[in-house]
Chain A
Amino acid sequence: MEEITQVQVEVVVEKARPMARVLGIFQIIVGLAGLGIGLIILAPVVAGFIAVEFGLSALLGTLVLNTLPLALLGFWLASIGRSILRLDTAAFSWVIYSNLIYIGIEFLVGGIAVFLAIANVAAIVMLFVPSVRSYWWVLFREDLGPRMKELRYSLYLIRRSPLVVVGLIIIVGYVFIALTVHMWAPYGPTERIWTETLAPPSPTHIWGTDQNGGDIFSMVMWATRIDLRIALLVVSVSLTIGALIGAAAGYFGGAVDEIVMRITDVFFAFPGLILAMAIVAALGERNLDNIAIALMVVWWPTYARLIRGQVLIERERLYVEAARSVGASDFRILVSHILPNTIQPIIVQATLDLGGVLLTAAGLSFIGFGAEAGTAEWGLMIATGQTHFVFYWLVFYPGMAILLCALAFNLVGDGVRDILDPKLRRR
């Protein structure tokens, strides 16, 4: 690596300024465009919600769940662009992360939003234009150096365990399918060919068709999107809620702890699946968002307990006392000192739970508490297929899809534990 001193960087800055300005303005435009698209899609939904009904399911409609992040993170992108105009060094590296995350969201939303991805890629490319790159790259590398060292070691550990590699490849495959299925799936998720019901696998329908003439291959592929989304949504939301509540309970102890833990006891008193069924039934409507809500309600106590336990351990560590002795506030100690130290078991648990949630969601669909009839969803497909058990392809392919996905998450979760645990990591 060529050594560039601060002074040289400063010289380069003067030259890089015009190009960085272009990048900043471009980033603002991209962000605002995302914000605009998000709002355009969002507005009718919100208006409809206000005008027509006051049900929870309308607010949590698929569009809102997807476009709300699009709008919010669009604002984030724009603010990064503004920081770049002020030549804030840290903002440059954020361009990469934020745009990559944004591309993921755009693919989830689909439609016109996907075109924005081109602009996102362009922003990242502009970051590496020589004059701009020379500005942030040195400081970025210096800052990232030790982290990259650890990351490289982690990658080495991953490469060494074949099961994790297999799991990762499967997950990447699923994610790829979920993001791109609309481009190559031969049939739509609800498309039915009424003339060819229960057709066995053949060149036209490689995995056969179901009793209504739905193409099994297409439906299984489309279902990837729905099932992965539920798993991600449930785990991330319940993790966030559980983490906040559990951390507060563990850190402050006393009455707060007692109340929170008794509430989690109430949730643990019921079998998870039964409780989720009851919640779906209480929410009234049978749809995917209600499954998601039900599973979140069932799942958060697990995380709350896990994190409370971790915080209880970390709270007694001496570095907490050291932080207190230099005048850090409770909030700062909890958020920026204790939580980073508790994150490792949480990541493992979350990875394993992705598989668990997937199975439970499919299970709920199977017993009739999930998606509306006709939705391309693995559990539902198996449920409808079991009445025609002679036609094995109705059940076999979605079943394999669930099996593989859950297996992959468990493999990776187990591997992640080995990689993140400092005792097993061993240099």
Chain B
Amino acid sequence: MVASEDSTQETHDEIPVLEPGVILDVRRLKTSFYTYEGVVKALDGITVQLKKGDTLAFVGETGCGKSVTAKSILRLVDSPGRIEEGEIIFRDRAKDGSEVVMDLLKLSEDEMRQIRGNRIAIVFQDPATYPNPVFRVGDQISEVITLHQELAKDVLEMKIERLETTLAENPDADNVATIQEKIAEYRSQLDDPPPPTDDDKKQVAKKKAVEMLKMVRMPSPEEVANQYPHELSGGMRQRALIAMSLSCNPQILICDEATTALDVTVQAQVLNLLNELKSEFDSSIIIITHDLGVVAETCTQVAVMYAGVVVEYASTEELFSDPIHPYTTGLLKAIPKLTEKTHRLLQIKGSVPNLITPPSGCRFHPRCEFATEICKKERPPREEMKPNHWVECFHPQGSMKGKKR
């Protein structure tokens, strides 16, 4: 792992610059799908930052490119899709504690495989179909673990622990001396562990899989590890998938509508769990959702997406208290409020445009009540209208209303 990182650094001429504290920086990312009807410009220059320890939410209507963003970050976009341009800068923590900064789009497929699941993991929506139906849950989790980790040290520790418990339970067995010798031998190897056998590795991985299941608060994890996916309920499967994603202690966990298929109580449990695990594992989370309630409860940063563009990017508090982009204000107005009694909820007129022939200029202008001529001609630049509050709009609303043009 370390060796491969070194080589990546050498092969890329310039090491990308990354602000301190930022773990993932997506810059001007463009992804298109070359379909029969034409080129679908699914992502058109996305710029978003994820800080360490933050929970970032991508919010937007269906088909606005949230999932494509997630897949683009992991480079899982399938043909006919293609990542056209942009940079995805990722700060990786190497084993020895040093930090490596790299552009994910410039890595080779092999290096990328080392990132997927290991450094950046993803949980998909629809837990019913994601686990492989023919393998037991525990085996699927341990496969990920054996795929990415050497486990040499864990194997030794397991052996030592076993022998020690043996000793503790049978202090007067006739082979105490040999067992103690063995323990001492294993101890001396701890700093430079020998490569483990596959069988030992499997055992440790299985043990770790059960630990992971315990970590995601799975009821009776030992039993579940030996069960097939069809024997679990939806919430349990979702937990199993989260356990699988977290099993290699990734730095970024992407939840692609991970809670959409669950009922509200389970959804709340899973969201709480995610936030607890985030601090436990010292990682960052990207949540993709169209549920603004989820965003308000769990996320620290929000990126509002519309038709393949991030129209507004701010902290959650800032966004909810002072929405600037007309689309965001529209979205927030559409939420029913408990304190008010309205006959009919407000809505944004029209529907999401066809991305093969997106509207000229600002992609939101056909539906925007404030649109003027310039919106049809030019795409608004991405501007920091308030500190750490980025908006793409010629006609900002909220506190910035009337301050521009």
Instruction: Show the binding face of A for B, using Cβ within 8 Å.
Output: 6-7, 10-11, 14, 83, 86, 88-91, 142, 145-146, 317-319, 321-329, 332, 336-337, 340-341
A90-B132 in contact given A6-B162, A318-B124 (Cβ < 8 Å): no
**23 interchain pairs (CB within 8 A)?**
A10-B163, A11-B169, A14-B175, A83-B199, A86-B197, A88-B199, A89-B199, A90-B199, A90-B202, A146-B226, A318-B126, A318-B129, A319-B132, A321-B124, A322-B132, A325-B116, A325-B117, A325-B121, A326-B245, A328-B113, A329-B113, A341-B133, A341-B134
Decide if B214 is an interface residue (CB 8 Å cutoff).
Answer: no
Chain A residues with Cβ below 8 Å from B121 are: 325-326
Residues facing A in B231-278 (CB within 8 A) are: 241, 244-245
Chain A residues with Cβ below 8 Å from B166 are: 7, 10-11, 14
B136 touches A146 (CB 8 A): yes
Q: Known pairs A89-B199, A319-B130, A327-B116; list 10 more (Cβ under 8 Å).
A: A6-B162, A146-B227, A146-B228, A321-B130, A325-B76, A326-B121, A327-B114, A327-B144, A341-B133, A341-B134
Chain B residues with Cβ below 8 Å from A340 are: 134-135
Instruction: Show the binding face of B for A, using Cβ within 8 Å.
Output: 74, 76, 112-118, 121-122, 124, 126, 129-136, 143-144, 147-148, 162-163, 165-166, 169-170, 173, 175, 179, 197, 199, 202-203, 226-228, 241, 244-245
**How distant is the Cα of A134 from the Cα of B116 in the complex, in angstroms?**
41
Q: Which residue of A lies closest to B132 (CB)?
A: A319
Looking at the complex, which one of A145, A327, A328, A337 makes contact with B226 (CB distance below 8 Å)?
Answer: A145
Looking at the complex, which one of A83, A142, A146, A319 makes contact with B129 (CB distance below 8 Å)?
Answer: A319
A319 touches B133 (CB 8 A): yes
Chain B residues with Cβ below 8 Å from A6 are: 162
B131 touches A322 (CB 8 A): yes
A322-B226 in contact given A86-B197, A88-B199, A327-B147 (Cβ < 8 Å): no
Chain B residues with Cβ below 8 Å from A319 are: 129-133
Q: Which residue of A lies closest to B136 (CB)?
A: A146
Q: Which residue of B lies closest to A139 (CB)?
A: B203
A327 touches B197 (CB 8 A): no
The winner among A323, A332, A337 for most chain B CB atoms within 10 A is A323
A11-B170 in contact given A6-B162, A325-B116, A326-B117 (Cβ < 8 Å): yes
A328-B147 in contact given A318-B130, A319-B133 (Cβ < 8 Å): yes
Chain B residues with Cβ below 8 Å from A89 are: 199, 203
A323-B132 in contact given A142-B226, A146-B228 (Cβ < 8 Å): yes
B173 touches A322 (CB 8 A): no
**How distant is the Cα of A86 from the Cα of B198 in the complex, in angstroms?**
12
**How distant is the Cα of A247 from the Cα of B163 in the complex, in angstroms?**
46
Q: How far is the CB of B372 from chain A (nearest CB, A)?
A: 43
A10 touches B162 (CB 8 A): yes
Chain B residues with Cβ below 8 Å from A317 are: 129
**How distant is the Cα of A314 from the Cα of B105 in the complex, in angstroms?**
28
Chain B residues with Cβ below 8 Å from A86 are: 197
Q: Which residue of A lies closest to B114 (CB)?
A: A327
**How distant is the Cα of A142 from the Cα of B134 in the complex, in angstroms?**
18
B131 touches A327 (CB 8 A): no
**How distant is the Cα of A321 from the Cα of B131 in the complex, in angstroms?**
10
Chain A residues with Cβ below 8 Å from B148 are: 327
Q: Which residue of A lies closest to B116 (CB)?
A: A327
Give the top 3 A-B pairs by smallest Cβ distance, nearest first: A326-B117, A327-B116, A327-B117
Q: Which residue of A lies closest to B250 (CB)?
A: A326
The winner among B131, B148, B165, B245 for most chain A CB atoms within 10 A is B165
**How distant is the Cα of A79 from the Cα of B118 in the complex, in angstroms?**
34
Q: Which residue of A lies closest to B254 (CB)?
A: A325
**How distant is the Cα of A318 from the Cα of B71 in the complex, in angstroms?**
13
A341 touches B147 (CB 8 A): no
Q: How far is the CB of B17 from chain A (nearest CB, A)?
A: 27
**How distant is the Cα of A327 from the Cα of B245 in the complex, in angstroms?**
11
Q: How far is the CB of A45 from chain B (nearest CB, A)?
A: 36
**How distant is the Cα of A7 from the Cα of B167 in the complex, in angstroms?**
9
**How distant is the Cα of A324 from the Cα of B78 in the complex, in angstroms?**
11
The winner among A11, A145, A324, A325 for most chain B CB atoms within 10 A is A325
Looking at the complex, which one of B132, B170, B173, B241 makes contact with A341 (CB distance below 8 Å)?
Answer: B132
**How distant is the Cα of A318 from the Cα of B122 in the complex, in angstroms?**
13
**How distant is the Cα of A6 from the Cα of B129 in the complex, in angstroms?**
34
The winner among B148, B166, B179, B202 for most chain A CB atoms within 10 A is B166
Q: How far is the CB of B61 from chain A (nearest CB, A)?
A: 22
Q: Which residue of B lies closest to A320 (CB)?
A: B132
**How distant is the Cα of A83 from the Cα of B118 in the complex, in angstroms?**
31
**How distant is the Cα of A391 from the Cα of B114 in the complex, in angstroms?**
74
The winner among A10, A90, A317, A337 for most chain B CB atoms within 10 A is A10
Q: How far is the CB of A15 from chain B (nearest CB, A)?
A: 9
Looking at the complex, which one of B74, B135, B136, B162 makes contact with A325 (CB distance below 8 Å)?
Answer: B74
